[in-house]
Amino acid sequence: MLAEYSARRNLFLGYLRNAGLNFIDPQGAYYVLVDISPFGFGDDFDFCTWMVREIGLAATPGSYFFHEPIKNYIRLNFAKHEDTLHAAGQRLQRLKEKI
């Protein structure tokens, strides 16, 4: 199971890197926190709503997981089938032109 999730993580993080996104490298979780500061949104919830409409991917606002008012992260889950990760990775590439 460790090898399988490590492979999924590495696959997905490769797509994030290729898209030019900054993130906190997960150290055992099945999700990654991505910094959305370069996109100019004042709120992570607004960014998540925009990303569903414009990119076709759903994310969770990072502020849901912080006690402090931190609104520049979104949370993406990579505990998905490999085909799903490839499809999501292709959609993430659209974010390059939005930065």
Q: Side-chain half-sphere of 90: how many Cα atoms within 13 Å?
A: 5
CA dist 21 and 57 (Å) reads: 15
Please, what are the domains in the chain? Answer: 2-98 (3.90.1150.10)
CA dist 99 and 96 (Å) reads: 6
pLDDT at res. 1: 87
Query: What is the number of other CB atoms lying within 10 angstroms of the CB of residue 74?
Result: 28
Query: What is the number of other CB atoms lying within 10 angstroms of the CB of residue 6?
Result: 11
pLDDT tens profile 1-60: 889 999 999 999 999 999 999 999 998 899 999 999 999 999 999 999 999 999 999 999
